[in-house]
């Protein structure tokens, strides 16, 4: 019998292949549309801490979305990889130095303030219509979200993906974080908890 891990690995591979096959100019257009959707649909108080991510490979480019949210008063932060198990979220300040984080991504310098996000834009490889996600396999976000919850913080989680990354069903595992909202080029979808 195929393990959950192997099924997830296969679903991840197929979803990412579909995403990689998208036309790069279309991806830019879709990313800009998604920025407008986020701007028009995410209500929050000025000063709310929002974590984004620096896009790698064929991911949705959330930079226009982060700038749109900043215009509405969000304080932005990006994940910084500390070690094989841990990310923290460092404040993204205009003009402050960025450093290579590995994996083809960059993040704020270690002098940047570490923040606890209240809204998290979560990257993912694949998702299903229940809000179950498949990450990239390292578990950084699952652990980071769990650590925030241990502090009593329940961040609003919004998965960021293209429609082509949707799969029929992600195998359930106990440690999985369910993402209640997914933003794709089709709009913002909210999932009812099962």
Annotated binding residue 188: no
Annotated binding residue 134: yes
Whole-number pLDDT of residue 166: 97
Give phi and psi for 133, each to the nearest 5: -120, 155
Give the integer Cα–Cα distance in Å for 96 and 67. 15
Annotated binding residue 147: no
Annotated binding residue 136: yes
Residue 9 binned pLDDT confidence (cut-offs 50, 70, 90): very high
Write down the residue that tokens 């080029």 correspond to. 185
Please report, for the chain, the start and end positions of each structural domain, with discontinuous segments joined by +. 4-111+135-190
Annotated binding residue 135: yes
- The matching CATH number, chosen from 3.40.50.720, 3.40.50.150, 3.40.50.2300, 3.40.50.10420, for 4-111+135-190 is 3.40.50.10420
Annotated binding residue 59: yes
128 burial class (0-12, 13-18, 19+ CB within 10 angstroms)? middle
Regarding pTM above 0.75, the answer is yes
CA distances from 48 to 72, 76, 117, 118, 162 (A): 10, 8, 8, 7, 25
Annotated binding residue 139: yes
Annotated binding residue 5: no
Q: For 42-90, where are the alpha helices, taking DSSP H only?
A: 63-71
Annotated binding residue 125: no
Query: Could you read off the pLDDT of 38-52 as tens digits, one per residue?
Result: 999 999 999 999 999
Q: To 5 degrees, how large is the angle CA 76–CA 82–CA 86?
A: 85
Annotated binding residue 71: no
Query: Could you read off the pLDDT of 99-152 as tens digits, one per residue?
Result: 877 767 777 988 899 999 999 999 999 999 999 999 988 889 999 999 999 999
């Amino acid at each position: 019998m195929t393990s959950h891990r192997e099924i997830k690995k296969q679903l991840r591979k197929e979803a990412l292949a579909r995403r990689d096959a998208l036309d790069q100019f279309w991806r830019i257009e879709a990313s800009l549309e998604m920025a407008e959707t986020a701007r028009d649909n995410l209500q929050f108080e000025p000063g709310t801490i929002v974590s984004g991510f620096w896009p790698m490979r064929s991911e949705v480019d959330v930079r226009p979305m982060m700038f749109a949210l900043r215009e509405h008063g969000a304080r932005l932060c990006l994940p910084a990889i500390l070690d094989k198990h841990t990310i923290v979220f460092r404040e993204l300040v205009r003009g402050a130095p960025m450093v290579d984080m590995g994996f083809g991504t960059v993040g704020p310098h270690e002098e940047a303030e570490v923040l606890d996000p209240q809204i998290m834009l979560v990257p993912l490889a694949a998702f299903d219509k229940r809000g179950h996600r498949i990450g990239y396999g390292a578990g950084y976000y699952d652990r980071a979200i769990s650590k925030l919850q241990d502090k009593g913080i329940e961040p609003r989680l919004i998965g960021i993906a293209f429609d082509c990354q949707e799969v029929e069903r992600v195998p359930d595992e106990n440690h999985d974080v369910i993402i209640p909202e997914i933003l794709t080029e089709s709009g913002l979808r909210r999932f009812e908890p099962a």
